[in-house]
Amino acid sequence: MSTFTGTARLARLAVRRDRVRLGIWVLGTPLIGYAIAESVAGLYPDEQTRLGYAETAITSVVARAFNGPIAGADVGAVVVTESYLTLALLAALLSTFAVTRHTRQNEETGRAELLGAAPVGRYALLTAALVVVVGANVLAAGLLALALVGTGLPVAGSVAAAAAVGGVGVAFTGVAAVTAQLTVTSRGANALAAATVGVAFLLRAAGDVLGERGADGTHLDSAWPAWLSPLGWGTQIRAFGAERWWVLALPTALLVAGIAVAYLLAERRDVGAGLLAARRGPARAAAGLLSPAGLTWRLHRAALAGWAVAVAVLGLAMGVAGHEVDAMIAENPQAAEMIAQLGGGAELVDAYLAAMLGLFALTIGAYVVQALLRTRSDESDGILEALLATAVSRTRWLGTQVLGAVLGASVLVLLAGVTTGLGYGLAAGDPVGWAVELAGAALLRLPALLVVAGVVTVLFGALPRWSVALSWTTLIAFLLLGQLGPVLDLPPAALDLSPYTHVPSVPAADPAALPLLILTAVAVVLLALGLTTFRHRDTPR
């Protein structure tokens, strides 16, 4: 029997298990790219506005750090600058999560051991996961290229831009293949892979911040740290500029190296074990673990701490960037109109700050979904069944999970407002005043997050098998409606489907109590419905 026996069947099984997730990934990538390309074409219709954008992208340190280098003043170059980082990070994270789910998680749950009793080769499980994830990246990149061409962009630049995004996903597929061999748990493997993505982002940002203006004055040449990052390789392809196709060899090489190392490590460990020894816990459990609330805090504190650090860093950066808003778009009235639409006000700086707080609220919605979907993981892994065999009721257990997610989201939105206010206030001369004002403005976004929590709770209670896919799909829909709806002039009925649409854009607009009360009431109804449906359904093993 070959070490790869059964790979094809395991690949089909992986596709069947992830058909919804893969469908959202493969179809969502080109849809996001198409929407951004269409909006950019309307915002920067002539060469003068694009030259102004290119000048801002080159001279602004914040723009360099968060958007990366610009390859020129063409429409396509602006589209890549606006969309690359979002699409590349999604490809990186989705790739690492998918590889871990079909390798380390299968070992953690015991499925790999059962499969090993059949005529399945030692490398088959890992190889099947790699085939599926690499195939998803290639297919998503191909559809993205077609979507960009469909907006009227040149074929060569569209293919290069799509290949840059797909290359990032392929590179981190190799990284995840290695991290899956190191830890005992899928959570640990995902954490290592996510940390690698964070380091890659920092290296790319450092290389772009230290870069220099190109000879033609409309593009940025990155410094050497960007070449150490898979995220930086995508920008070095220079889509819609002087394309450098040879750069695509770098993510391919990292994939091949990652696969080789993963196979080598797999030979040196037992099934279910990791090369990094699991840290032993204390001999006695803390008293707080005797209650559902204490257990919830213990399970979520690491994720909450990571989110808090990321939110604080981004909040300070976005706040400092607010002081540059007037200068950044002085020659671009279209960009000013877009910020006013997103922020909901005429005062440009206030509209910018409101838009940033809105972005934070959308992002923190991902934390709410992530935290609440742990309930589904506990149920499918059999942990919930053991918990419910004790004196803990269903309502108390799920209510504690919801309360933990909501409190965590409250901490994060408050931290986002405080750090954004501090960043802007340090540049404007009143850090305390702005921190207090934006903290209050950020907390007004909490009712929308309560609605997100209510939707996830209802899906978990009523449709547990579909709750993961539907929850993330709903959040992505809210993201697209909230950020691209105003730019694409979608009808009000479509925009009203997102709870974020009804949140007052403070500080750009006056706070209104009625929409917040309605959102809170909707959230309460959804949460009550979710608790009721969960209490009356079976809990499968």
Q: Is the pLDDT of residue 92 over 70?
A: yes
Angle (CA) 428-429-432 rounded to 5° is 105
pLDDT at res. 281:
67
Residue range 335-355, pLDDT digits in tens: 555 555 555 544 667 877 887
- The chain-wide mean pLDDT, for the chain, equals 85
Strands 212-213 and 220-221: antiparallel
Residues in CB range of 475: below 8 A, 6 or more apart: 365, 366, 369, 452
d(CA 225, CA 11): 36
Kindly report the number of other CB atoms within 10 A of residue 284's CB atom: 7
In whole angstroms, what is the distance from residue 300 CA to residue 306 CA?
Answer: 10
Confidence band of 282 (pLDDT split at 50, 70, 90)? confident
Element containing residue 221 per DSSP (H, E)? strand 220-221
Residue 464: partners with Cβ closer than 8 Å, 6 or more residues away:
376, 379, 537, 540
Q: Which has the closest alpha carbon to 412: 314, 487, 499?
A: 314
Q: What is the pLDDT of residue 422?
A: 92
Look up residue 297 and give its amino acid. Answer: W
Cβ(339)–Cβ(350) below 8 Å:
no
Alpha-carbon distance of 80 to 148, in angstroms, equals 10
HSE, side-chain direction, 13 A CA sphere, residue 534: 30
Q: How confident is the model at residue 224 (pLDDT cuts 50, 70, 90)?
A: confident
Helix, strand, coil content of the chain in percent (nearest 5): 75, 0, 25
Residues 511 and 502: their CA atoms lie apart, in Å, by 11
> Mind listing the pLDDT tens digit for each residue in 105-152?
888 877 877 777 777 878 888 999 999 999 999 999 999 999 999 989
In this prediction, residue 325 carries a pLDDT of: 61
The answer, yes or no, to whether residue 245 has pLDDT greater than 70, is: yes
Three-state DSSP at 212 gives: strand
Q: pLDDT band at 15, cuts 50/70/90?
A: very high
pLDDT confidence band for 236 (50 / 70 / 90): very high
Identity at 236, one-letter amino acid code: Q
Q: How confident is the model over 258-266, as a mean pLDDT?
A: 92
DSSP 7-53: HHHHHHHHHHHTHHHHHHHHHHHHHHHHHHHHHHHHH--SHHHHHHH
pLDDT for 418-431, tens place per residue? 999 998 888 788 88
pLDDT digits (tens, 9 = 90+) for 470-518: 898 898 888 777 666 665 566 777 778 889 888 888 887 788 889 999 9
Segment (H or E) for 220: strand 220-221
First to last CA, the chain: 34
Residue 463 has pLDDT above 80, yes or no: yes
For the segment 378-416, what is each residue's pLDDT rounded down to a tens digit? 887 777 888 888 888 889 999 999 999 999 999 999 999
Would you say the C-alpha torsion 348, 354, 360, 363 has a positive or negative sign? Answer: negative
Considering the entire predicted model, what is its pTM? 0.76
Q: Quick: pLDDT tens for 163-188.
A: 999 999 999 999 999 999 988 888 78
Q: Which amino acid is at 197?
A: V
Q: Do residues 30 and 151 lie in contact, with contact meaning Cβ atoms separated by under 8 Å? A: no
The token pair that represents 255 in the structure block: 């994939």
For residues 154-162, give the mean pLDDT.
94
* Token output for 373: 């979907």
What is the 3-class SS of 87-109, one letter each residue?
A: HHHHHHHHHHHHHHHHCHHHHHC
Residue 328 pLDDT class (50, 70, 90 cuts): low
pLDDT over 80 (residue 251): yes
Of 407, 411, 391, 421, the residue nearest 453 (C-alpha): 407
pLDDT digits (tens, 9 = 90+) for 52-79: 778 777 776 667 777 788 888 888 888 8
pLDDT number for residue 232: 93
What is the rounded CA–CA span in Å between residue 66 and residue 351?
Answer: 20
Separation CA 235–CA 226 (nearest Å) = 9
* Residue 445 clears pLDDT 90, i.e. is over it: yes
Q: How many residues does the chain have?
A: 541
3-state secondary structure 462-495: HCHHHHHHHHHHHHHHHHHHHHHCCCCCCCHHHH
Query: How far is residue 87's CA from residue 168's CA, in Å, rounded to a whole number?
Result: 9
Query: Measuring CA to CA, which residue among 403, 503, 502 is closest to residue 454?
Result: 403
pLDDT: which is higher, 372 or 303: 372
Q: What is the pLDDT of residue 158?
A: 94
- Amino acid of residue 349: V
